[in-house]
Structure 1
C-alpha cells in the first residue's frame, strides 16, 4: 500500500500519476505486456490521505542476494535480470511513460557491465 497526504507540495504528489500508470498497464490486452507490473487492487481517498493498494511482491533482488545467496549473482543470472528489466521498461514505454530513474539505471548498468568485462 502507498499513501500520500491530500494537501502538500504539488511537485511531490505523485500517487495520482502512479495510479494512472498502473491502471493503464493493466488495461493492456496482451497478458505478456503486463506481466512485470504489480497487481492493481484498489485506490481511494480519505479526508487526509490518498491511497493505492497493490498486490504483494516478493523480496528485492538485493535482499535475496544478501540474505539467501550470501554472494553475488552469477553473470548469467545478472543478465537475465537485466533482460527482464528491459522488457518491463519496453512495456512501460509502450503505454507512453518513461520511468524517472531511467537515466540513473542506464548509467549504473553501463558501469556494471563495463566492470564485468574488464
Structure 2
C-alpha cells in the first residue's frame, strides 16, 4: 500500500511538471534565461513570435512556480530583470538534454 501511495505522488509530480512545461513558450523562456538575467524586452527579442501579453502571463506563471525571479533595479531609469532561481537552473539543465535530442532527431 505504501508503495502505491509513493507511486501516486511521483506520478502527480511528473504530471505537474509536464503541465508547466507543456504550455507554449515556457521552454524557450527558460532557455533564454539560461544565459543569465534578462529584461522583458530582451526575452521578447530572443523569442520574436511571443506577444507581450503572453510573455507577461508566462513570466507570472514561472514566478509563481518558483522558477523565475523578478528583480526590480531602482537605478535611474528603473528597470526589471528576470533570472532563473536554483530550481529554474536545474530545470534548464534538464531541458538541455531535450535540446540535444531535438538537434539529433528533428
Q: Decide: shared fold, TM above 0.5.
A: no
The structure with the largest alpha-carbon Rg is 1
Going by fraction, where is helix more abundant, 1 or 2? Answer: 2
- Calculate the TM-score normalised by the size of structure 2: 0.30
- Calculate the TM-score normalised by the size of structure 1: 0.28
